[in-house]
Amino acid sequence: MADAKKLYIKTYGCQMNVYDSERMAEAMGGAGYVATDSPDDADMILLNTCHIREKAAEKVYSELGRFKPLKAANPNLKIGVAGCVAQAEGAEIMRRQPMVDLVVGPQSYHRLPEMEAQVGGGKRALDTDFPEEDKFEHLKARPKAARGPTAFLTVQEGCDKFCAFCVVPYTRGAEASRPAVRVLEEARDLVDRGVREITLLGQNVNAYHGVGEGGDWSLARLIWALNDIDGLERIRFTTSHPNDMSDDLINAHGECAKLMPYLHLPVQSGSDRILKAMNRKHTAEGYIRLIERIRAARPDILISGDFIVGFPGETEADFAGTMALVTAVGYGQCYSFKYSARPGTPAAERPLVDPVEASDRLARLQALLTKQQHAIQNSMVGRDVSVLFERTGRLPGQMVGKSEYLHAVHVNSDDIAVGDLRRVRIVNSGPNSLGGELLP
């Protein structure tokens, strides 16, 4: 490997981008590249970008600006932009930034090695098509290198829901599911390489309907098939839409041993008026009833969510509805954002809520969510959980892993290896993690 070229990938945004970056790195391995952690000695730099919230493009331009001296020092350095900003603004990036050699949208990653070979010496390439073929089929199979105990696996991509604020249907395209056999093959391969926990990914993962034996498979059916893989200990999935929470998936939470008791189920707002304006096609009450049904199937499940405050037209009364919904549900983990207009989405043309008012609402919402999160975390003290250990901690002798509920847990012991799944008694709760002791 003495003459291997070095590839530096910087990843922004969601877990799907993390997964895509891994797959692109592997595909570029076939073109003679090895991954590097630093842009300074790279032969190729790839920014895998996110367009979901504001200032995405500006961030990309300022990041590119920082690579200018590297390109000046090494004219053979190839610079690429991938991800959702590439999809949305690829031509503009090419125009504004002559030092960018290639732009590749998320549905064209399998063409990356070919594009890389074509560019350089003034030649450039842009591919933001939505091709018919399945990119994962064309991305080189994952090499058989050992890996850590947890992995992401994309099973579904794109979205047909068209929430009025969201760019995903435009950047990731129409909803599409990978065939079940491909997912199972990839899962088995990951397990052979040491993975014990798989998180199934999709922008609308519970809309999964991949072809499988006997017709289209639901996400629940896929999870049950994964449950049979020896050596795989834990299954998670994210992100789900309330309207696709089918009975078989709810029941799986009660019955499927390897499916972890954690569900990320964004609702965005607790006001029916705003939910309608967002094109969410569900009500606040409907969501609360759904959570009740999920908790009936799996009482200890930890619920997480996403909220947007300051959506166009949101009044103080609408916001009060959001606070009431949060109080009714009780979230163990949550992400909340101030609305930002995304060009090309239906809501982008609507008048904005006063930004000072929106920031004030966000602060009040986050205070409530943090209080709930800490209360649930503190209630873990004295309980026994299972922890999958992922890495060493900062202090000597400390190991860190995740509980079933996705809480980070620290344990001091010299008897734990990365990849171990152990029973732990929780003894204390800190600001962002729990402390525990190994159970015999």
Q: Which residues sit at the interface with ligand 5AD, rule CB under 6 A?
A: 52-53, 165-166, 266, 268, 306, 308, 337, 339-340, 342
Of the pair 210, 266, the CB lying nearest ligand 5AD is at 266
- Please list, in sequence order, all residues whose beta carbon lies within 8 angstroms of the beta carbon of residue 231, skipping any fewer than 6 positions away: 191, 192, 196
**Binding partner at 204 among ligand 5AD, ligand SF4, none, C-beta below 5 to 8 Å by kind:** ligand SF4
| DSSP symbols for 237-289 | EE---GGG--HHHHHHHHH-TTB-SEEE---B-S-HHHHHHTT----HHHHHH
Classify burial at 322, counting beta carbons within 10 Å of its beta carbon; exposed 0-12, middle 13-18, buried 19 or more: buried
Environment class of residue 22 by beta-carbon count within 10 Å: exposed (0-12), middle (13-18) or buried (19+)? middle
55 vs 123 by CB, closer to ligand 5AD: 55
Q: How far is the CB of 309 from ligand SF4 (least distance, A)?
A: 15
Binding partner of 342, given ligand 5AD, ligand SF4, none, CB within 5-8 angstroms per partner class: ligand 5AD
Nearest-angstrom CA–CA distance, 118 and 106: 19
Give 52 or 205: the residue with its C-beta nearer to ligand 5AD. 52
339 binds, among ligand 5AD, ligand SF4, none (CB under 5 to 8 A by kind): ligand 5AD
The secondary structure element, H or E, covering residue 356 is helix 355-378
Between 130 and 335, whose beta carbon lies closer to ligand 5AD? 335
Structure tokens at 293: 């049904």
Tell me which of ligand SF4, ligand 5AD, none is bound by residue 340, counting a contact when its beta carbon lies within the kind-specific cut-off of 5 to 8 angstroms. ligand 5AD
Comparison of 92 and 160: residue with beta carbon closer to ligand SF4: 160
Give the nearest distance from C-beta 299 to ligand SF4 in angstroms.
27
Peptide bond into 239 cis (omega under 30): yes
| Contact partner at residue 79 from ligand 5AD, ligand SF4, none, CB < 5 to 8 Å by partner kind | none
Class of residue 420 by CB neighbours under 10 A (exposed 0-12, middle 13-18, buried 19+): middle
Residue nearest to ligand 5AD (CB): 306
Q: How far is the CB of 306 from ligand 5AD (least distance, A)?
A: 3
Nearer to ligand 5AD, 97 or 370 (CB): 370
Q: How far is the CB of 402 from ligand 5AD (least distance, A)?
A: 21
Q: DSSP assignment, residue 386?
A: E
Closest approach of ligand 5AD to the CB of residue 342, in Å: 5
Taking the complex as a whole, the smallest distance from the CB of residue 11 to ligand 5AD amounts, in Å, to 16
| Shortest distance (Å) from residue 172 CB to ligand SF4 | 8
Nearest one of 91, 84, 88, 179 to 137, comparing CA atoms:
179
Residue 303's DSSP bridge partners are 263
337 binds, among ligand SF4, ligand 5AD, none (CB under 5 to 8 A by kind): ligand 5AD
Out of ligand SF4, ligand 5AD, none, what residue 159 binds, judged by CB under 5 to 8 A for its kind, is: ligand SF4
Of 240 and 377, which CB lies nearer to ligand SF4 in the complex structure?
A: 240
Partner residues linked to 9 by β-bridges = 46
Tokens coding 219:
């996400």
Nearest-approach distance from CB 345 to ligand SF4, in angstroms: 9
Q: Please, which residue, 173 or 266, has the CB nearer to ligand 5AD? A: 266
| For ligand SF4, the closer CB: 217 or 311 | 311
Q: What element of type H or E holds 378?
A: helix 355-378
CA-to-CA dists, residue 71 to 65, 78, 79, 112, 354, angstroms: 10, 8, 8, 20, 43
Smallest separation, CB 214 to ligand 5AD (Å): 33
Which helix (H) or strand (E) segment is 307 a member of?
strand 302-309
Binding site for ligand SF4 (CB under 6 A): 159, 161-163, 166, 168-169, 203-204, 241
Q: Give min distance, CB of 307 to ligand 5AD, in A.
A: 6
DSSP state of 201: E
Which partner from the list ligand 5AD, ligand SF4, none does 169 bind, CB cut-off 5 to 8 Å by kind? ligand SF4
DSSP H helices, 107-246, are: 112-118, 135-138, 168-171, 180-192, 219-227
Q: Helix, strand, coil proportions of the chain in percent (round to 5)?
A: 40, 25, 40
